[in-house]
Amino acid sequence: MDIGSVGIIGAGQMGNGIAHVMALAGYDVVLNDVSQEALDGALGRIEKNLDRQVSKGKLEQEMRDAAVARISTTLELDPVGQCDLVIEAATEREEVKQKIFDALVPKLKPETILTSNTSSISITRLASRTDRPERFMGFHFMNPVPVMSLVELIRGIATDQETYEACLAVVEKLGKTAASAEDFPAFIVNRILVPMINEAVYTLYEGVGNVSSIDEAMKLGANHPMGPLELADFIGLDTCLAIMNVLHDGLADTKYRPCPLLTKYVEAGWLGRKAGRGFYDYRGDTPVPTR
């Protein structure tokens, strides 16, 4: 299938990043959200990020302007349904995604490929509740989307080869690399990454080290560009907790128990950078560890 238009549901951190790279690659993009404020904010962030690429000499001004012109926004699902490829990039809660698909499916063209940017939820289960499980798959971008070169492509049990090849062609057109993953909880990247973060939180919880020492140890001792607690704040502690719950529920192994301290931070609303506080407090000029 020849894909020329892409609908994106959710104008948050992931959705606006996906819109950015899709428009830059030449796709017509329809960006949807339930809030006009979110859509306006997303467009502002996209333009700011494109301007940064221009200022660094990575992008011509004409390409930047053309990319912006390819993005339209809407509060309605009807224009999204007319796209060749739809990527759901809403919050990492299955009931939210399911409500979106229930409302969207009647508006889709018969040939539209429907995908989810979920980082952990079963693709097979999401697909089974739509009218096109053979044209449904996981299309998982890494954050921040314009910078990270990997995309996980996850086939559900019913996903057909044509759908996979069409999505693979999109990834290649974006100039990114695809990693094919089987449909098991958290797929590849988060199956490995988020339990490492959870273990870092346990290390903090048990008093083995404080926030600074844990992050410095992993940056200098394992050559990680970012410490695990700093990374958790960047991802969002609510997202980390959601992924750990998916792993724990889906694999029934006690090694995937979410750390009680991670749960406590989420209960406090200390979700990381986006909330101004997480394992670091971001409300001042420099981040300050909260433990």
Cα–Cα distance measured from residue 188 to residue 204, given in angstroms and rounded to the nearest whole number? 25
Cα–Cα distance measured from residue 190 to residue 39, given in angstroms and rounded to the nearest whole number? 28
Residue 122 annotated as catalytic: no
> Is residue 250 marked as binding?
no
**Bridge partners for 85 per DSSP:** 6, 113
Which one from 122, 140, 198, 230 is the annotated catalytic residue?
A: 140
Cα–Cα distance measured from residue 28 to residue 237, given in angstroms and rounded to the nearest whole number? 33
* Nearest C-alpha neighbor of 14 from the set 144, 130, 131: 144
Residue 190 annotated as catalytic: yes
Residues 6 or more apart whose CB falls under 8 angstroms from that of 229 comprise 197, 200, 201, 204, 211, 214, 215, 279, 280
Residue 20 annotated as catalytic: no
> Is residue 127 marked as binding?
no
Beta-strand pair 280-281/288-289: antiparallel
> Is residue 143 marked as binding?
yes
Cα–Cα distance measured from residue 4 to residue 44, given in angstroms and rounded to the nearest whole number? 24
> Is residue 61 marked as binding?
no
Indicate if the alpha-carbon torsion angle 169, 173, 178, 184 is positive or negative.
negative
Which one from 32, 190, 198, 230 is the annotated catalytic residue?
A: 190
Residue 32 annotated as catalytic: no
* Nearest C-alpha neighbor of 126 from the set 276, 26, 9: 9
> Is residue 19 marked as binding?
no
Which one from 119, 120, 122, 198 is the annotated catalytic residue?
A: 119
> Is residue 119 marked as binding?
yes
> Is residue 13 marked as binding?
yes
| Neighbour count for residue 271 (Cβ, 10 Å) | 21
Amino acid at 14: M
> Is residue 84 marked as binding?
no
Indicate if the alpha-carbon torsion angle 19, 72, 93, 181 is positive or negative.
negative
152 φ, ψ to 5°?
Answer: -85, 125
Which one from 20, 152, 198, 230 is the annotated catalytic residue?
A: 152
Coil, strand or helix: which one is 186? coil
> Is residue 180 marked as binding?
no
Spatial contact of 15 and 42, defined as CB atoms under 8 Å apart? yes
> Is residue 14 marked as binding?
yes
Task: Give the residue numbers annotated as catalytic, written as ranges.
Answer: 119, 140, 152, 190
Going by the annotation, the residues of the binding site are 10-15, 33, 92, 97, 119, 143, 274
Please state the residue numbers annotated as binding site for NAD(+).
10-15, 33, 92, 97, 119, 143, 274
